Structure 1
């Protein structure tokens, strides 16, 4: 039975001394696991899977010494939702802020926990977290607005799960065969997991207040979740404390997080089901043997029987657009820099590729951060990051507005590294492009992942107060591989003054023959000469042909309630 953590004990740890250094020594290894009864290789840490939780208090320093022991794959780690203020080189996406870690190599991540809340970590390299390299990251805060109410807390993860390994699935997703015969459809998971297993049991006590941190670690599927017999009160999303909001059901996209409070019953006379269901509208087809649901249990008394859950089939999730941040940060009303991103999918020589403003993202020869640090004043010119680097340069202190227009027939959860953002406007499905006149909330909801509904738009704003090279991408991992990403280069001249790359980071690049200076192709003499830049994605396999692109299927709208 899964244990819970006493909030009082956590508060004591947070107040009993000065900030500490939390050190992890991790070998990234292959492990066999069968979370749904099917045994397959997964990527674990120190020979164990599920992967461990990173945990600390505000102000703690985290040092993670990694060694890639996979043998046949490069790797990296991204600490999702952490701003990495002053430590951009620790952000983790391979080809953006670091070189991939080759087999046998060592690499250290070192940063300070300066944001409270619920986060997670995962590989940011060739879809690898699909194969299991992912885990919670929790930052405790004795001054949290809900702290005095909480007796104990638990972290609850959701995910979709595949039986085939990610490289083969990615190859098929971007194959001519898939484009011809399946309209370029994303691989459908074999099922869903809760706590990286199925039917987990969470022990609770009567008359207590629990904080439940919910993380969706899926590669694809959004999920609905409810707890039978218990109303949830939302108090945090994506590391942002919110004014408490009661709800019976939450919709959580891939990569989003929610913290909720629940009050347990006054007696231990029965146990209750936790029910979650993958959002089937995201899938082009529903295999006959696919179980969209996964269950867990609040166990008041282990001697009493567990209930028989019924599938979650009624969907009326709380609309997160109605959330209000606890700090009541007002609308950033004066926009200094607007970035328009129209995105869609096309047939690119027989391969399903994503585009932003007509350009499909392709990692370049030099990681974008290293280009920003080594090209002097030319670092402010987006051209030096390569045509397919999809780079947008913003100045210090600017209020940046990004308009996302979704020309695709499916929804997309977009994530910004290095910041959270105000959600200024979000349309329903098939609303067309942003008209430019939507009324914005006076105190907008703020988070770091937002769903752009099919055929609709989202508008976000944030202040450029964190110099760095920050990836902005759809968090459906299949779409990342298809090129649905952009690079936000923020205050590169300030970055050049403040950031130095550790020697072990540079060593893994040198050992792989990856250049670490100059423009996207490593040209240090003429930064605007991009001869040899990467403009064509690697073709996984299959002959190059040009079949007509069929439209995605129409999906039925879900209901969201405020």
Structure 2
């Protein structure tokens, strides 16, 4: 279905417009001397793509199911351009009974916020039988991806890689290209969504794990992905977690991986034997082929059950790496490293991830505390951020209203206008049992700090219903999918939740739901690497933990801040007018 992860897939070039006399189009601009948020080349080149979105029967792991495919491919075609190019993608909706829209994950969309691809926020959906052309200029460079932002269509295969060639600060010889890793479901997304709501936000169990859309299922010998190594060469791998829910642990048996970029942010290189990616996150790594010309080794993608609920046998995907003289009729026999099946759900320590181009956050114009809660709402449960949940009107996009000067939005749309405030700082506190990969549109955020919340009295000093229990990491693992071999069970007993909806601690005043930020803080005010904190567009927020994020208000628009889980979105839209 896709050339990615096959012998037919060619390595990527350093850039598409290489000039032997002058090199790539960014010339002297490099990782350490250029602030890509403010300065970039202008090639005058537009790269064009034509996408047809259709519902088709396919069998990536040998089991036929209905998927939403881009040009009949899964993963979708690679979008490739140079830093300084523009891209133009015409999307034709061939789905007969529903709309669609594409979000270009990690694109800042400076000066083009209507191209962000979120229906009800930036645009109306693309109607069945209709088309829409996205035109924008990528501001940053590196590895990204695109996916449907309409309902949960991305859970049924509607996604693909996006590569913006740019300067390199770590040398390598061969660019292997995108390696997408994703959990996978044998049911169409609408069935998953219905079960998700009927079961009061119980995370749906995935059926498999895929690398570049490939893996076997239950011993059926469906084709695996494969990659080529050349002995003595350094290889760049562009790792992308396109999962609906799963945290992914990526490793190569017996090899270290040098991490050179997270999301669209080049970083000071560091070495690890396992790369951890939450949904939506990307890491570019360089791997030295130190083996012999006849070697073959396994690349592994493992989704820990305590982070990523799945059916038994669904947690591991493997791909074969063949050296130039390897016998390709024989599968590798290498063994996993000691940390390949690590069960920690969080990202690497903030101290390890140092941006190569330093930027220092100033004092924020606004600081707010945002507890994330799961609350019952009639027949189901909904996610709330700071006492508010979220709905949009597909036929009345928020950005169009803001452009027309209408900044009064219905309360349920959860829009907050920060006007001319220079920067925003949020202490996002996870009171529940699920991890949340927090994603921002239109910006990269600094990740200033992270850590555990002691208890609910820290988050809700004025009292809160007992169902807002802060789980310890161990409790969260027990409730969220269980350990390896354990049976999955609900993270919440629904009856006690509903019975306690109106209960409060009698000896404490009730919180004021009309005041955003009237909560306690888990954060002690410390910042990791305050002169140059980590930057990225997705950061994992563990159960019972907090993260502190900050970004500059330098990009006018309406930008969602939400959980990247495909069916757990909890947007809190931010308006800069």
TM range (shorter): 0.7 to 0.9
- SS at 2:306's partner residue? helix
Mark the CA change 1:283 to 1:63 in structure 2 (over 3 Å): closer, same or farther. closer
Q: Could you tell me how far 1:30 is from its partner in structure 2?
A: 1.9
Name the counterpart of 1:134.
Answer: 159
Contact 1:222 1:254 in 2 (8 A): yes
What do the CA deviations read for 1:235-272 (whole angstroms, capped 9, x no partner)?
10010000001111111000000001111125313111
Name the counterpart of 1:174.
Answer: 197
Name the counterpart of 1:257.
Answer: 282
Q: Distance in 1 between matches of 2:14 and 2:124?
A: 41
Q: Distance in 1 between matches of 2:214 and 2:374?
A: 34
Q: Distance in 2 between matches of 1:196 and 1:466?
A: 35
Equivalences for 1:116-515 in 2 at 5 Å? Answer: 116-141=141-166, 143-146=167-170, 148-175=171-198, 178-179=199-200, 184-198=201-215, 199-265=224-290, 267-283=292-308, 287=311, 289-300=312-323, 301-303=325-327, 305-308=330-333, 312-315=340-343, 319-322=348-351, 323-330=353-360, 332-364=361-393, 366-375=396-405, 379=407, 384-396=408-420, 398-428=422-452, 433=459, 434-441=521-528, 442=530, 443-480=532-569, 484-490=570-576, 492=577
Name the counterpart of 1:532.
Answer: none
Q: Could you tell me how far 1:114 is from its partner in structure 2?
A: 2.2
Mark the CA change 1:430 to 1:202 in structure 2 (over 3 Å): closer, same or farther. farther
What do the CA deviations read for 1:25-47 (whole angstroms, capped 9, x no partner)?
22111222211111112111233
Contact 1:249 1:318 in 2 (8 A): no
- For the pair 1:28 / 2:39, whether they are aligned, the reply is no
Contact 1:158 1:194 in 2 (8 A): yes
Contact 2:523 2:546 in 1 (8 A): no
Gaps of 5+ in 2: 1-5, 26-42, 216-223, 460-520
What do the CA deviations read for 1:448-489 (whole angstroms, capped 9, x no partner)?
001111011111011111111111100111112xxx111011
Q: Distance in 2 between matches of 1:204 and 1:11?
A: 25
Contact 1:4 1:152 in 2 (8 A): no
- SS at 1:41's partner residue? strand
Name the counterpart of 1:522.
Answer: none
- SS at 1:485's partner residue? coil
Q: Distance in 2 between matches of 1:166 and 1:122?
A: 14
Mark the CA change 1:50 to 1:313 in structure 2 (over 3 Å): closer, same or farther. closer
Contact 1:396 1:467 in 2 (8 A): no
Contact 1:320 1:445 in 2 (8 A): no
Q: Could you tell me how far 1:50 is from its partner in structure 2?
A: 2.8
What do the CA deviations read for 1:150-191 (whole angstroms, capped 9, x no partner)?
43332111000001111111112111xx24xxxx41111101
* Number of residue pairs matched by the alignment: 471
Q: Distance in 2 between matches of 1:228 and 1:266?
A: 11
Contact 2:249 2:341 in 1 (8 A): no
- SS at 1:281's partner residue? coil
Which structure has more helix as a fraction of its residues?
Answer: 1
Mark the CA change 1:11 to 1:26 in structure 2 (over 3 Å): closer, same or farther. closer
Contact 2:92 2:131 in 1 (8 A): yes
What do the CA deviations read for 1:495-539 (whole angstroms, capped 9, x no partner)?
xxxxxxxxxxxxxxxxxxxxxxxxxxxxxxxxxxxxxxxxxxxxx
Q: Could you tell me how far 1:9 is from its partner in structure 2?
A: 6.3
Q: Distance in 1 between matches of 2:301 and 2:291?
A: 25
Q: Could you tell me how far 1:359 is from its partner in structure 2?
A: 1.5
- SS at 2:119's partner residue? coil
Q: Could you tell me how far 1:149 is from its partner in structure 2?
A: 3.4
